[in-house]
Amino acid sequence: MQHMVDSCTNRKYNDVEGYEERVSSMKNDGKATIRDIASRCQTSPSTVSRVMNGNTRISEGTRKRVLDAAAELGYMPNPFAKSLRSRTTRIVGVFVNALTPAFETTLGFLSSLSECLEEHGYTASICIIGINAEKERYYFEMMIALRACAIIKIVNCSDAQIDQISTIPIFYVYSYPMNAEKSTQIYRIETDNYGAGYKAGSELVRLGCRRIAEVRLISQSTDYPFARHVGLMQSLYDSEARYAEELSIVCTQNDFGAILEEIEKKLSTTQPADGYFCSSDLMALALLESLNFHGYDIPRQVKIIGCNDMSVSLHSIKRISTIRHRTKELCDATVETMVRVLNGEKPTPAMQRQVFPTDLITRETTVEGTQSDGSSQMVD
């Protein structure tokens, strides 16, 4: 029985390859084909094909002749024929949670990502998975059925089983879910969350804060809150500054109402610290509103630094100092690495984990007299 299946499968593939050749050679509404370009350049169709596929083992002179002829003849590649040959398409599945407050940051990345993929001839298929393993598996199976060439995940949690069985490369961006497992198909393009915490702590110390605390998230699904916490702690240790653990506020939900409730509980029983690093701008906003309600002068009495540079940091009662991700660099690195992998380059440790620095943006919650016209100062 297995022999019959294998025989039918092999025959089907042979037929597909033959059909692909016929599709490639067909003129579609008078458009030029690879054979037309080869004839114009007096070279072989296979050489033209290699040029069009970005093969680097072609002389610059031949490449120029082929590309010039293609432009003159108005050649348009046939993506259908190409997908038949490679058993894949140039579709990239992009998985996002969407149900998190940081989705605004994700939107900025998605916009840059879509443009970058398009420049390289790929199309993004965006899948909103929420925080739902069953839905993630559904979209994963859909991407495999569509012959997607890769998956990019901008998620806070993930189905580890998918990572283990995937036959196509998976790229995690921004942070790495704690339940994900190591695999040769996994690539991590991360922001330096440890460095973000370190920068925030160092800035608060530089500004004269002596009792520094946090508003932070405890997460079982992603590593970034803990990495930011560790970075803050290290900066305070290096500066011999005091971490005011008794004044820190720990949240289990990344929801504004729940965050505000935890902050109110703390401030109703104790005086605040003179400097806070918050795991997100949403937390910084809740802290700012609570402190303002209780009559504290920001930033003279209490200084606040958030993280993620969300729009709320610019549209609050005082613009919030924050840590900004280098979205464009993350996007470019993700697509560049993906293209290298899909072109057959052997993965290296440097390719499989890349970490990008962040930038400290100073605004009105740390520096008195900061202009209120939307401008900010970036600190190295």
- Per-residue pLDDT of 118-143, as tens digits, reads 888 899 999 888 777 788 888 888 99
pLDDT tens digits, 291-317: 999 999 999 999 999 999 988 889 889
pLDDT tens digits, 39-87: 988 899 888 888 877 666 788 888 888 888 888 888 776 655 555 455 5
| Strand partners for 11 | none
pLDDT for 67: 87
Domains defined for the chain, CATH in brackets: 2-86 (1.10.260.40), 91-191+327-357 (3.40.50.2300), 194-321+363-379 (3.40.50.2300)
SS3 state of residue 194? helix
Query: Which is nearest to 90 in space by CA: 122, 127, 44?
Result: 122
The mean per-residue pLDDT over the stretch 211-234 comes to 89
Lowest average pLDDT, out of 178-182, 194-198, 213-217, 278-282, goes to 178-182
Question: 124-157: buried (b, 16+ CB within 10 Å) or exposed (e) per residue?
Answer: bbbbebeeebeebeebbeebeeeebbbbbbbbbb
Q: Helices then strands (H, E): number in the chain?
A: 14, 14
Cβ 34 vs Cβ 52: under 8 Å: yes
- The larger pLDDT score, comparing residue 5 to residue 162, is at 162
Cα separation, 254 vs 219, in Å, equals 9
Cβ 127 vs Cβ 139: under 8 Å: yes
pLDDT of residue 16 exceeding 60, the answer is no
Average pLDDT, the chain: 82
pLDDT of residue 102 exceeding 80, the answer is no
Assign 180 a pLDDT band (cuts: 50, 70, 90). low
- Rounded to 5 degrees, φ, ψ at 256 are -55, -45
Q: Which residues contact 342 (CB under 8 A, 6 or more apart)?
A: 149, 150, 169
Q: Please report how many Cα atoms fall inside a 13 Å half-sphere around the Cα of residue 18, on the Cβ side.
A: 6
For the four alpha carbons of 272, 275, 279 and 282, in that order, the dihedral sign comes to positive
- The larger pLDDT score, comparing residue 117 to residue 24, is at 117
pLDDT for 285: 95
